[in-house]
């Protein structure tokens, strides 16, 4: 039995799932009794919603929640996560300056941060249907020279607290600026969206596969960036 299979079975047991193992030793079918996620998704955004790029079209509707406040991740979990990422090509930062330095080192040029913003509401937002408005904009690097199908590299930083962020380089990714409007109260949001073209190396128990009923590597998967999240883009990036 391989180490990878042992890990799948351990995670399945931990999250109380029924795992069916195929003859070649892979996790061929996973039946979820409750959502299982990678720690970073589970801790930073409990309302995470994943979707296909086809949803980023005018008048498409999604049930979403963009909370104005997120509970900080517990200190023990922050320590565990940041200890693990220090062994990989990722980093936990404690200031805007550290995020700037990391993003510049990965993207090889000066960078600028972008965030999801709530335009017309100061108090807490509600979960409601949001409609995609006109003018979804796709970020293109290299002065917009790359084709519409060519993925770019960006740095994404997930907020563990208001000051501590888990940052990583993401390639084979499309990033969009998506205008949304709430159908119940008219909340207007300029949302940043990351669409990952290659999910073949993602944990097979990732929440996105449960929500979308696909397996690793089968589809491009998108998600919104919420409060405390940043996407760092090269200064040469333009909206298309």
Residue 197 pLDDT > 80: yes
Residue 187 lies in a domain: yes
Give residue 87's pLDDT: 59
Residue 77 pLDDT > 90: no
Q: Name the percent of the chain lying above pLDDT 70.
A: 73
Containing domain of residue 196, as a range?
A: 44-237
State the chain's mean pLDDT as an integer.
76
Residue 5 lies in a domain: no
Residue 126 lies in a domain: yes
Residue 76 lies in a domain: yes
Residue 105 lies in a domain: yes
Residue 29 lies in a domain: no
Alpha-carbon dihedral sign for residues 129, 133, 138, 139: negative
> Could you tell me if 43 and 73 are in contact, meaning their C-beta atoms sit under 8 angstroms apart?
yes
- Give φ, ψ of 77 to 5 degrees: -70, -40
Q: CA 64, CA 186: separation in Å to the nearest integer?
A: 13
Q: Which pair of structure tokens corresponds to residue 30? A: 């996973």
Which stretch, 35-39, 140-144, 217-221, has highest mean pLDDT?
Answer: 217-221
Per DSSP, the three-state class of 76 is: helix
Number of domain units in the chain = 1
Residue 31 lies in a domain: no
Residue 2 lies in a domain: no
Give residue 4's pLDDT: 44
Mind listing the pLDDT tens digit for each residue in 162-195?
A: 899 999 988 889 999 999 999 999 999 999 999 9
Instruction: Give the rounded distance of the alpha carbon of 113 from its chain centre.
Output: 15
Residue 18 pLDDT > 50: no
Mind listing the pLDDT tens digit for each residue in 19-31?
A: 332 333 333 333 3
């Amino acid at each position: 039995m391989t180490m990878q299979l042992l890990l799948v079975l351990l995670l399945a047991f931990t999250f109380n799932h029924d795992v069916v193992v195929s003859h070649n030793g892979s996790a061929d079918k996973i039946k979820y009794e409750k959502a299982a996620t990678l720690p970073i998704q589970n801790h930073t955004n409990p309302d995470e919603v994943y979707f296909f790029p086809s949803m980023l079209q005018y008048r498409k509707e999604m049930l979403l929640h963009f909370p104005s406040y997120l509970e900080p991740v517990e200190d023990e979990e922050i320590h565990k996560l940041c200890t693990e990422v220090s062994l990989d090509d990722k980093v936990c930062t404690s200031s805007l300056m550290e995020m700037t330095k990391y993003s510049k080192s990965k993207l090889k040029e000066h960078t600028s941060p972008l965030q999801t913003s709530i335009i017309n509401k100061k108090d807490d937002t509600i979960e409601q249907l949001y409609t995609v408005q006109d003018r979804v904009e796709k970020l293109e690097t290299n002065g917009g020279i790359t084709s519409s199908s060519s993925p770019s590299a960006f740095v994404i930083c997930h907020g563990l607290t208001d000051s501590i962020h888990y940052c990583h380089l993401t390639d084979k990714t499309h990033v969009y600026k998506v205008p949304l409007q709430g159908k119940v109260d008219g909340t207007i949001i300029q949302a940043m969206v990351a669409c990952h073209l290659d999910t073949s190396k993602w944990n097979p128990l990732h929440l996105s596969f449960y929500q979308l009923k696909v397996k690793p590597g089968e589809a491009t998967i998108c998600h919104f960036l919420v409060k405390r999240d940043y996407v760092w883009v090269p200064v040469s990036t333009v909206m298309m």
